[in-house]
Amino acid sequence: MAATPPLCNFGEKAKPFTLPATDGRTYSLDELKGPKGTVIVFMCNHCPYVKAIIDRLIRDATDLKAIGVNLVGICSNDPVAYPEDDLPAMRRWAEEKRFPFPYLHDATQEVARAYGAVCTPDFFGYNADLELQYRGRLDESKREAVPGARRELFEAMRLVAETGKGPAEQHASMGCSIKWKEAA
């Protein structure tokens, strides 16, 4: 089912985390943050919205890194109900696509809950002080790429890298709802 997150709560601080990654290492937010900003994107392997944007996300992650903004992917879907989103499957996809960013596994879903993540993809763009400045979309594409779409995430994070502030106008991302574990 499609879901849309709320818009940006400017200035909200990033929540610390430590999670395992597809490269076999464990990373903390402090290790991953960029000198001029950080993008945390909640994503997964099976979502058609993520699949539709993944090549452009890889492009933007590479271009953002060049200006001092790091991107981090986190998969928080229930890996029991959705085995295509478990850590071994994440590892295969990250290797196949050659992700230029760490892809982390949030098996407990605690990080997604702390951030208030709603869907995949769900973007959180922070300035150098880890204050939220962007909660928008990659671009206007949904399940199909829109030719010539404006690079909204890249442009917003370039502004954040230059000024510390995100754009006032932002458009919410849209994607599949996070696949939450059933309550025990």
Q: Give tens-digit pLDDT for 94-108.
A: 999 999 999 999 999
- The share of the chain scoring above pLDDT 90, in percent, equals 89
Q: How many CA atoms lie within 13 A of 162 on its CB side?
A: 8
Query: Mean pLDDT across the stretch 129-150?
Result: 91
| Helix (H) or strand (E) segment spanning residue 37 | strand 37-42
Q: How confident is residue 157, by pLDDT bands cut at 50, 70 and 90?
A: very high
Query: Mean pLDDT across the stretch 20-31?
Result: 98
Instruction: Convert 101-164 into a string of H (helix), E (strand) and C (coil).
Output: CCEEECCCCHHHHHHCCCEECEEEEECCCCEEEECCCCCCCCCCCCCCCCCHHHHHHHHHHHHC
What pLDDT sits at residue 145? 81
Global pTM value: 0.95
* CA 52/CA 113 separation, integer angstroms: 25
For residue 83, pLDDT over 80 is answered with yes
Average pLDDT across the chain, whole number:
95
Yes or no: is domain 2-177 CATH 3.40.50.300? no
For residue 184, pLDDT over 60 is answered with no
For residue 45, pLDDT over 60 is answered with yes
Q: How confident is residue 131, by pLDDT bands cut at 50, 70 and 90?
A: very high
What pLDDT sits at residue 51? 94
What pLDDT sits at residue 1? 60
Q: Are 8 and 133 in contact (CB under 8 A)?
A: yes
Q: How confident is residue 116, by pLDDT bands cut at 50, 70 and 90?
A: very high
